[in-house]
Structures are given as structure tokens and as C-alpha cells.
Structure 1
């Protein structure tokens, strides 16, 4: 099994929540779950104005969210908070049930170098 870092789960959930839902019911359930995740994150990111601002923006670009929120999610402990991770996983299950069932959000990159998570990435590595 491959495990995703907490930061990557949270970022993926934020993106999914901001963009998912093709029916009114799905949009409502996803929006409620997305709002719950953001409320948990607001509490964890209190006192971090740049992170709070990024969380409230209508950003849906994973790389941008990762750049702005990644360190604060890790430094605040959000990436290991079980309530936040459970909310993020639930949001991913709702927004992308096929991907969640297939293990798309389970990545263990603890021993890897030059890792990317997501779709349509481009990367060039030079290891010495």
C-alpha cells in the first residue's frame, strides 16, 4: 500500500472540494464537507495570515495551494491531525469515489526523491 503525506491529502481534498459535484445533491454534500474541512483548517492555521488568506481564496490550482499552504499545514500539525485527515479523506471519497477506491490518494514517498503527486505534472531531476 502506498501512503500519501498529510499535506498532499489535504491539498487534494481542497482542490476536489472546490471543483467537484455534478448534481445538486452531490454539490451540496461536497460543499458541506468542503466547508467542514476548511473550518477545521481555519482553527489549525490561526495566527498564520498568509495561510488563512490562501484558504479563503477561490484557488483551485494544486501547485499554488501546495506552495502557499504546504509549510503551514505541516508546521501547524494539520498534516497529522486525525480529524483534519479524516475530513480530507471523506471529501476525496465524495468528490472522486473511483479514485479513492482505487487507492489514488494512498502514496508513500518517504524514501523517494523528486516526487510529484497529481495529474499532468512535468518534472526534470538531476541526481548526483
Structure 2
């Protein structure tokens, strides 16, 4: 899984526990800092920030703003920011211990799905005629 996807996934993986809220705040702060600071194509600090408003838009509408924030994170060099990636992994480790190395467990594209239930230990019975 690419680092930007790890960061995006962790941003929406939070729950109400204090540990998750704390790690989520740290992650949001790190993302906000990265987007405000920006990076140029050579990984150096840039004078042009990478759409700092993209984070707030994503937190309000993750599905609708996913591509915008992904582009902003890529422009800002987030995929090469070891501290930011580690902050994302801490959120995922807190929300689902043991699964943080397997970010694919958090990704599901259900835009065209019908009769689907999502979640750990979930069950559903469908009767089709």
C-alpha cells in the first residue's frame, strides 16, 4: 500500500477512544503542517503550499474529497515523510491492533454495491427472489 493511501486511510479510521483521538489529532496536525509547508519536486521546502484546505474538506467529506487530498499530499511530498507515515500507522495500530501493516483491510469501494454490510464481525442475511 502506498504511503499516501496509508495516511488517507488513517485519517478516517478514528473512534471515540482517548488514545485514538490523541493519535488522530497528532496525525491531522502533521498533515496540516505538511500541506501548509509544501514540498517541491525535489523534496525541498516549497514556497507554494499544497492546498492546505484539502484536509478540512476531506474530514467533512472523505469520499468526495479523497482525490483532492491525495493530490495535495503527493504534491507536498507526504509519501516521503517518515514521521507523517508513522503517525498514520499509529492511528491504524490504535484503531485495529495487529492490522496496521495490512492497510488493505480498511479499503472498500462500495459506490455501486447493494446489500452490503461492512465491519469487523458483521453479518447479514439476504433473500433474493
C-alpha separation between the residues in 1 aligned to 2:92 and 2:6?
A: 8
C-alpha separation between the residues in 1 aligned to 2:13 and 2:61?
A: 8
Structure with bigger helix share is: 1
Equivalent residue, structure 1, for 2:53: 53
* Aligned residue-pair number: 99
How much does 1:16 deviate? 0.5
Is the aligned partner of 1:29 residue 2:48?
A: no
Equivalent residue of 2:107, what SS? coil
Higher Cα radius of gyration:
2
Task: Write out per-residue CA displacement over residues 70-123 of structure 1, whole angstroms, 9 at most, x where no aligned residue.
Answer: 1111111112200000000010010122532xx42169xxxxxxxxx8124468
| Comparing 38-47 and 87-96, the one that deviates more | 38-47
Structure scoring higher RCO (CA < 8 A, sep ≥ 6) equals 1
Structure 1's consecutive aligned runs of 4 or more residues displaced over 4 angstroms after TM superposition are none
RMSD: 2.4
TM-score by length of 2: 0.65
List runs of 5+ in structure 2 lacking aligned partners.
37-48, 113-129
C-alpha separation between the residues in 1 aligned to 2:60 and 2:83?
A: 23
C-alpha separation between the residues in 1 aligned to 2:80 and 2:104?
A: 15
How much does 1:66 deviate? 2.1
Is the aligned partner of 1:95 residue 2:95?
A: yes
Task: Write out per-residue CA displacement over residues 39-91 of structure 1, whole angstroms, 9 at most, x where no aligned residue.
Answer: 1111110133xx42231244253x33421101111111112200000000010
C-alpha separation between the residues in 2 aligned to 1:33 and 1:65?
A: 22
Equivalent residue of 1:91, what SS? helix
Equivalent residue of 1:93, what SS? helix
Distance change >3 Å, CA 90–CA 13, structure 1 → 2? same
